[in-house]
Amino acid sequence: MQLPELGERICILGPSNSGKSTLADAIARKRGLPAIHLDQLHHLPHTDWQPRPADEFVALHDQAIAAERWVMDGNYTRCMPQRLRRATGLILLDIPMPLSLLRYARRTLSGGRRVGAIEGGPQRITWDMLHHIALVTPRNRKRYLAVYRELDLPKLHFASAHAIEACYRQWGLER
């Protein structure tokens, strides 16, 4: 499938540290679409990843999906139904949990600013995030795959880091 076939409103789902934000940014640059990182809408800037009040997050989310063009990364299942109704295409990144853990450690220990991070939020390894990746993510992967299978819109499923890399090459995307 060619990138334009996914349309003007692309959702990227997948486990934590699978590369959703990086891919969204690359697609946004290539297609001239605004990149919307749901972590930035969900968390308050300049905090230790403190969530916004739920109604405030939902309002920001719904305002973002009302736009005519976007590529949006993140899961946040409470808002997924309305997001997927607006979407014209879906990409599911479905990398194994051990790779998510490795990517988490590598990105936090590198000290660099990651794509999609909240403004002023610390980048460090936490037990909460390790727990989330190791224990919550495997259940979520099954849920996201079920959502993927049910949707009737242009979609792509990348089940490995190699498949994601092939996508970058095929579409001429740059990190």
Q: What is the pLDDT of residue 112?
A: 67
Distance CA 8, CA 4 (A): 8
What pTM value is reported for the model? 0.94
Q: Domain 3-171, what architecture?
A: 3-Layer(aba) Sandwich (3.40)
Please give the average per-residue pLDDT across 100-120, as a whole number. 84
User: Under 8 Å CB-to-CB from 28, ≥6 apart: which residues?
Assistant: 34, 35, 71
pLDDT tens across 38-70, in order? 999 999 999 888 999 999 999 999 999 999 999
Sketch the domain layout of the chain as residue ranges: 3-171
